[in-house]
């Protein structure tokens, strides 16, 4: 798990769209809510800019955050974020309380390494395609990784990398694989070079034309008979 991210927030009693709008426009604050665990949900507000800057770090979305509400710290995860459709503004944030002794389910990004030096790319001229950029995992908060690394070094052209091919950190399991082998989804592959594919297609077309010509010649011969 990465070093703790820290945010400051204050609890708020006012609710509704009007109150949230005033927070954003007049105070440059983001309304939010903290829920989960054994405590009641708490409406909060926090300064917009510190949260906005934290969101520039990919790891923030899959890390435990130390949220200080009125000075009291709680461990939370960012569960939902609402952005303005046209402006670079955070509209609302939802945080989920976490317990260090209870497993959590989180979407974690995939980092693909050794793509350019892989067998399929460097030696065979293939192209890498990603079918997934993140996966859902289950683990204790203390085992939560910032990302999952997928090593493409030995992958060849035509080979598909599945969830089961990924080495997960200790204490981390795939939610999908826990549902059965039929959920062993593809996450990446290396396809043949485009030019090679086009040549094969052209060859098939020529062969097809030759077959058609032979068929036509046979039909003409039969007609003359």
Q: What is the pLDDT of residues 117-158, one digit of tens each?
A: 999 999 999 999 999 999 999 999 999 999 999 999 999 999
Higher pLDDT pick, 117 / 200: 117
CATH level 3 topology of 104-192: RNA Polymerase Alpha Subunit; Chain A, domain 2 (2.170.120)
Condensed to tens digits (0 to 9), the pLDDT of residues 33-82 reads 999 988 899 999 999 999 999 999 999 998 999 999 999 999 999 999 99
The DSSP symbol for 26 reads H
Q: Is the pTM of this model over 0.85?
A: no
CATH level 3 topology of 5-97: Ribosomal Protein L25; Chain P (2.40.240)
| Predicted local confidence at residue 196, as pLDDT | 56
Mean pLDDT, the chain, as a whole number? Answer: 87
Cα–Cα distance for residue pair 105/79, rounded to 1 Å: 11
Cβ-count burial of 34 within 10 angstroms (0-12 exposed, 13-18 middle, 19+ buried)?
A: buried
Domains 5-97 and 104-192 are alike in CATH topology: no
- Mean pLDDT lowest among 12-16, 25-29, 72-76, 107-111: 12-16
| Predicted local confidence at residue 14, as pLDDT | 73
| Predicted local confidence at residue 76, as pLDDT | 96
| Domains in the chain: boundaries | 5-97, 104-192, 196-225
DSSP β-ladder status, 90-97 and 104-113 = unpaired
Closest CA to 6 of 64, 56, 66, 54: 66
């Amino acid at each position: 798990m990465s070093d703790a991210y820290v945010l400051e927030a204050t609890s708020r009693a006012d609710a509704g769209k009007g109150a949230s709008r005033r927070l954003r426009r007049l105070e440059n604050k983001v309304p939010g809510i903290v829920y989960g665990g054994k405590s009641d949900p708490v409406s909060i507000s926090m300064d917009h800019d510190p949260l906005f800057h934290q969101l520039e770090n990919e790891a923030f979305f899959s890390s435990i955050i130390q949220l200080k509400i009125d000075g009291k710290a709680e461990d939370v995860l960012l569960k939902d974020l609402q952005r303005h459709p046209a402006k670079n503004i955070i509209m609302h944030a939802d945080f989920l309380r976490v317990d260090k002794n209870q497993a959590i389910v989180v979407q974690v990004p995939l980092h693909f390494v050794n793509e350019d030096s892989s067998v399929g790319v460097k030696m065979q001229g293939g192209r890498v395609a990603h079918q997934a950029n993140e996966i859902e995992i289950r683990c204790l908060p203390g085992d939560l990784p910032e990302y999952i690394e997928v090593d493409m070094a030995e992958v060849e052209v035509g080979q598909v990398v599945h969830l089961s091919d990924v080495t997960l950190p200790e204490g981390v399991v795939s939610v999908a694989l826990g549902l059965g082998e039929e959920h062993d989804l593809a996450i990446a592959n290396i396809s043949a070079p485009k030019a090679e594919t086009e040549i094969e297609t052209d060859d098939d077309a020529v062969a097809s034309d030759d077959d058609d010509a032979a068929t036509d010649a046979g039909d003409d011969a039969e007609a003359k008979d």
